Amino acid sequence: MKAKARAHANIALIKYWGKEDEELSIPNNSSLSLTLEAFYTETEVEFSELISEDEFYLDNRKDDITLLKVSKFLDLFRDRLNIKTRAIVKSINYVPTAAGLASSASAFAALAAAANKASGLNLNDKALSTFARKGSGSATRSIYGGIVEWQKGDSDQTSYAIEIDDANWDIGMVVVLVNSNEKKISSTKAMKQTVLTSPYYPSWVKDSEKDLIDIKAAIKDRDIRKIGEISERNALKMHATMLAAKPPIMYFEPNSILVIQIVQQLREKGIAAYFTMDAGPNVKILCKLSDANTIKEDLLKSFDKKDIIVTKVGPKVQII
């Protein structure tokens, strides 16, 4: 009745942006991501007949706000098993700072895996991925390691992720944490606003399906430049849908643009470095793992050491 799991965060190279079905968290387009070793969440779930309410601790502190989402998520398991047993959930986020790198992907993947074991439901990875999806869209992908595709599907059962490459070759990421001066609009809200108001959104959905086909071919060839070019443009196309939303949504900060310029300069020097950005100001640089420290050196001229994290590709969710 007790289990602990570790799941890693992931960064999408082909972005998930916009839901076809809000309730079931089915996306409008398939996406593809790289699981990252350096960022992860460890979560312990203990089902117990001795308690009458769920309890949730985040980083050793009781968190009654997040508890609501956690309880609702545990209900997926309880409903399937037709039990009412409450649980104590303890979760630790291993991210270098609280500077806004999304942890909901690793959080819900770890919670799903721990609850799966502790409850005895014992879903396979594919089914677990559909469960994680209902906690947080990007958590769908964090069940797996390496390079992961979230196939959008068209129903609860068919919208899940699969590993398409173990990424056990020269590929990695440098994450630059860009502190924000700005009030943020959440990715959930930004997504909705884009779907509802951006004239570019339909083209985004259509184009991203093509990007996915192209990047899978490039991954097969281990062609880091091709993978990078497709990723970078896909990210910019996503941000472009937001700039065209009403009102416009912009996640670029001055320092985000500075990182982008550094990446462009690195490419001019012959280094295969490509940026991607999500619903926040941080910039993630896709590169050969063997180039990551050279890239870090360059970034150190403009950024603090603590804000630059080099990471290799991470493994699938695991019981620990």
- 198/101 Cα distance (integer angstroms): 25
> Which C-beta is closer to a second copy: that of 69 or that of 237?
237
Stretch of 12-20, 76-84, 151-159, 197-205 contacting a second copy, by CB under 8 A:
197-205
Are 274 and 263 within 8 A, CB to CB? yes
According to CB under 8 A, which one of 44, 54, 253, 298 is a site residue for a second copy? 253
Residue with tokens 């960064």: 11
Site size toward a second copy, by CB under 8 A: 32
Any contact of residue 252 with a second copy (CB under 8 A)?
yes
- 181/274 Cα distance (integer angstroms): 25
Stretch of 3-11, 59-67, 122-130, 199-207 contacting a second copy, by CB under 8 A:
199-207
> Which C-beta is closer to a second copy: that of 19 or that of 237?
237
* DSSP state letter for 142: G
> By C-alpha distance, which of 291, 293, 187, 276 is closest to 237?
276
Q: Angle formed by the axes of helices 104-119 and 125-135, to 10°?
A: 130
Are 107 and 91 within 8 A, CB to CB? yes
Q: Least CB distance from residue 201 to a second copy, whole Å? A: 9
> Which C-beta is closer to a second copy: that of 253 or that of 307?
253
Stretch of 40-48, 60-68, 117-125, 258-266 contacting a second copy, by CB under 8 A:
258-266
Please name the residues in contact with 79: beta carbons below 8 A apart, sequence gap of 6 or more: none
Any contact of residue 298 with a second copy (CB under 8 A)?
no
DSSP E strand stretches across the chain: 2-14, 19-21, 26-27, 31-48, 55-58, 61-62, 86-94, 147-151, 160-165, 172-176, 273-277, 283-287, 308-312, 318-319
Q: Least CB distance from residue 50 to a second copy, whole Å? A: 50
Any contact of residue 207 with a second copy (CB under 8 A)?
yes
Binders of a second copy in range 106-135 (CB under 8 A): none
Any contact of residue 100 with a second copy (CB under 8 A)?
no
Please give the residue ranges that form the binding site for a second copy (CB under 8 A). Answer: 181-182, 199-200, 203-204, 206-207, 229, 232-233, 236-237, 239-241, 243-244, 246-248, 250, 252-258, 260-261, 264
